[in-house]
Every structure is written in C-alpha cells, then in structure tokens.
A and B are shown apart, each in its own frame.
Chain A
Amino acid sequence: NAGVMQNPRHLVRRRGQEARLRCSPMKGHSHVYWYRQLPEEGLKFMVYLQKENIIDESGMPKERFSAEFPKEGPSILRIQQVVRGDSAAYFCASSPTGAPNEKLFFGSGTQLSVL
C-alpha cells in the first residue's frame, strides 16, 4: 500500500499565477481532507471531499480556492491568482468511509512558495 501520495512536494509560483496540488488517497479510501499549515502553526481544515462530491468546504476561502475529487484520478486543490499569504504546507489526508472515529492518514504535503 503506497499510502497517501501528494505531488508536487515543492511548488514555486509567482504572484498571480495558479497553483494545482494533487492528492491520491490510499488504496480503498474514497474520502479526502485538505489541510493547510502556515509556518510554525497548526493544521487548519480546508475542505472534505468524497468521490465527485464536496461534503464540507467550511474552511476554504470563498475566493480563489477550489477543490475537486473526480470519479477517476486524484483530488485537486486549485488556488488561482496566488498571493504571498498562500505560502504554506498543504496536506491531504484520506480515510476509508469518512466515519467520525476513523484514522486519518496524511500525505507528505506540498510546500507552496509564492514569490
């Protein structure tokens, strides 16, 4: 089992560009959670997705950010017109059924740097 795979590991963008972060959940997992971690801070929930559905996007900024988890392929977190404040580590996690007492397994994260 390859675990949760995220790519790229590092992403550098200039202000105004778009950033696309990918997450492939563990085999057999159909629930994906995205978290953002600012330098020296904790993990902040952004969005929870099931295949083809957004279940909870309460932690995601209303503008410039979007997420999807298509029937085929990885989950994508998309940030349009990036600004310096978007610089952070973005982690995704997956679980089998989304039940509230399930373990979440995290990917290695994508470190986004905005110049």
Chain B
Amino acid sequence: GENVEQHPSTLSVQEGDSAVIKCTYSDSASNYFPWYKQELGKRPQLIIDIRSNVGEKKDQRIAVTLNKTAKHFSLHITETQPEDSAVYFCAAPPGSYGKLTFGQGTILTVHP
C-alpha cells in the first residue's frame, strides 16, 4: 500500500516568513496530491491539490510543487500570518480509487 512520510512534524516561523512542508510517497501510480489544513477541534479542509500532469500550482500565498521522479511534493506558504497556524496534512491515493493515505501532520505555529 501507499506510504506517506511528512516533515517536519513541527514548524515555528515569524509572521511574514515563508513555511515549507515536505512529503514523500511510495506508490508511483499515485496521481493526485492534496493538502489539508486542520484547526483545533475542526474538520480537515482542503486548501490546495495538484495532479501529476503539472509540476507546480499556486493559489495566492499557497503553492504546491511535485517531483514525480523523486516521489515528493511540498507545500509552500509565503507571507505567513498568525491565522495560518494549524496542523497541515499531505495525502496521496494508493490503488485505483479515492481512499487517501495521510502523512503524520505538521504543526505550524506563526508568531506575531
């Protein structure tokens, strides 16, 4: 099955700095890579996703890059704000249907 590794487990930055979270996956057939943000006590919310036919996707201050050869993908948050503080999860789908395997999560803290 799919194995997804996420690093770092915690990340602390100053407001305005950039944050980068990295994930590796094992199943070379995976072709869809979403990122979820989860605030304390709330549901995971999809913030950005990328499909394997592109190498990078941006949405305002958030971007995701994908390297299929190396089987890793990264989340980039620029100009971080305190409200970006949350747990971020990467995921990848093993097999032929939409079940997702999640990374272990990264606790991002943005200090004002």
Stretch at the interface among A60-68, A74-82, A97-105: A97-105
B45 beta carbon closer than 8 Å to chain A: yes
B73 beta carbon closer than 8 Å to chain A: no
Q: A105-B46, A108-B42 in contact; A43/B93 too (CB < 8 A)? A: no
Contact status A99-B46, CB under 8 Å: no
Contact of B31 among A31, A91, A101 (CB under 8 A): A101
Q: How many residues of B contact A (CB 8 A)?
A: 26
Nearest Cβ on chain B to A98's Cβ, whole angstroms = 5
Stretch at the interface among B12-20, B56-64, B77-85, B99-107: B99-107
Q: How many A-B residue pairs have CB under 8 A?
A: 65
Question: Which positions 1-45 of chain A face chain B at CB distance < 8 Å?
Answer: 31, 33, 35, 41-45
Nearest Cβ on chain B to A106's Cβ, whole angstroms = 5
Q: A91-B43, A106-B45, A109-B43 in contact; A99/B97 too (CB < 8 A)? A: yes
Contact status A106-B44, CB under 8 Å: yes
Contact status B95-A43, CB under 8 Å: no
Contact status B43-A42, CB under 8 Å: no
Q: How many residues of A contact B (CB 8 A)?
A: 26
Contact status A100-B34, CB under 8 Å: no
A52 beta carbon closer than 8 Å to chain B: no
A55 beta carbon closer than 8 Å to chain B: yes
**Considering the chains assembled together, what is the distance between the CA atoms of A43 and B103 in angstroms?**
8
On A, residues with C-beta under 8 Å from B are 31, 33, 35, 41-45, 48, 55-56, 58, 91, 95, 98-109
Given contacts A99-B97, A106-B36, 13 further A-B contacts (CB under 8 A): A41-B104, A45-B100, A45-B102, A98-B98, A100-B97, A100-B98, A101-B32, A102-B32, A104-B98, A105-B46, A106-B43, A107-B43, A109-B43
Can you pick out 11 interface pairs between chain A and chain B where the beta carbons lie within 8 Å of each other? A33-B98, A42-B105, A43-B102, A48-B98, A91-B44, A98-B97, A100-B32, A101-B98, A102-B98, A106-B36, A108-B42
On B, residues with C-beta under 8 Å from A are 1, 30-32, 34, 36, 42-46, 49, 51, 89, 93, 95-105
